[in-house]
Structure 1
Amino acid sequence: MHVAAPVSRVWELVTDIALPARLSPELYRVAWLDGADRAAPYARFEGFNRNDVLGEWRTVSYVVELVEPRVFAWAVTDADGRYGAPTSDPARPMATWRYELAPEDGGTRLHQSVVLGPARSGVDLAIDRWPDRAEQIVATRLADLRAAMATTLDGIAALARH
């Protein structure tokens, strides 16, 4: 999406890990770990999520790419083992989220994406339980993620303009 604000302002917003908890329908609390207080390579933070279908869960994320002011990415791990064996390996995340920013027409082109896997997640648990509904489960989860990203991007754009 195009955001009518300078890259520096949008960067400030996307690297504020508490911001998605204000905007997301699923993520409701986030906190830096290990004494970190801002995005930095390999910094860790925990996130607390809530979903009507999946319930509540905690994740531990690692900043895996930080190219100021262009790219901010983090890998989400299942440190508590909710979906399988506990893992804190950012090379084998449940998901990797990414923001990319570029100057565009006096503002910023902001792109948000997510790659699911390779580690197990709630989608895998649902498919294990209802294998005959795998396509529907994946389609529903992707639709939920797209809607959450749209809400987050709209919120970032609104905040960046003020």
Structure 2
Amino acid sequence: MEWTGALYADTPTVEVETWIDAPPEKVWALVSDIEMMPTLSAELQSVEWLDGVTEPAVGHRFIGRSKHESLGEWQTTSYVVEYEPGRVFAWAVEDPDQPTAIWRFRLEPKDAGTQLSQWAQLGPGRSGLSFAIDRMPEKEQKIVYVRLKEFEQGMTQNLAGIKQRLEASE
């Protein structure tokens, strides 16, 4: 990822991808299982569905609990905003109309396996990062850049973990 000088209001994004030697239905089973994600993430500690649901569908909600050395501990409610079984799973954090972030997995069959990408967008809704920017507005671009790098590193680890689990079982 290159230095972009992005501002939070620019809703900057980052995306990583990998090819997995496993069919899309096996990859889908992992990426659509939100309770598996904390096993891959250093930041995301736990996830649970709300309202008595147990699987994703547009409009379903879940709580995520996270922990970060610089940002502390927090909990968010996420809303499934895109759900195409076997292809796309996306959720908006806190407010689906003004999210603090949006996350998306996308799958495509490729070369007898699966091309998997994970994408994330910061903002436009206010988040914990907004408070850091409020305290140090002159460092906004650096704060955004560092957070996007953290997202990129975490997503790279997520995809590597999914790839390793699936390819080890094939």
Partner of 2:90: 73
Q: Distance in 2 between matches of 1:138 and 1:75?
A: 18
Amino acid at match of 2:21: A
Shift of 1:118: 1.1
Partner of 1:148: 154
| Residue 27 (structure 1) aligned with residue 9 (structure 2) | no
Q: Distance in 1 between matches of 2:20 and 2:30?
A: 12
| Residue 15 (structure 1) aligned with residue 21 (structure 2) | no
Amino acid at match of 1:26: E
- Residues 74-118 of structure 1: CA deviation (Å, up to 9, x unaligned): 1111xxxxxxxxxxx311110110011000011000010011111
Shift of 1:132: 1.5
Shift of 1:134: 1.3
Q: How does 1:1-162 map to 2 (within 5 A)?
A: 1-77=18-94, 89-161=95-167, 162=169
Shift of 1:159: 1.3
| Higher relative contact order structure (alpha carbons within 8 Å, sequence separation ≥ 6) | 2
Shift of 1:142: 0.8
3-state SS, counterpart of residue 62 of structure 1: strand
Identity of aligned residues (%): 46
Shift of 1:51: 0.2
Shift of 1:153: 0.5
Shift of 1:36: 0.6
Shift of 1:40: 1.4
Amino acid at match of 1:98: R
Tell me the TM-score normalised to structure 1 length: 0.91
RMSD over aligned Cα atoms: 0.8
Q: Distance in 2 between matches of 1:57 and 1:123?
A: 12
Query: Any stretches of 5+ residues in structure 2 without a counterpart?
Result: 1-17
Q: Distance in 1 between matches of 2:141 and 2:51?
A: 39
Tell me the TM-score normalised to structure 2 length: 0.87
Stretches (4+) displaced over 4 A: none
- Residues 114-146 of structure 1: CA deviation (Å, up to 9, x unaligned): 111110112211110111211211111111110
Q: Distance in 1 between matches of 2:141 and 2:83?
A: 34
**Range that drifts further, 51-60 or 117-126:** 117-126
Amino acid at match of 1:147: Q
Query: Any stretches of 5+ residues in structure 1 without a counterpart?
Result: 78-88
**Range that drifts further, 99-108 or 115-124:** 115-124
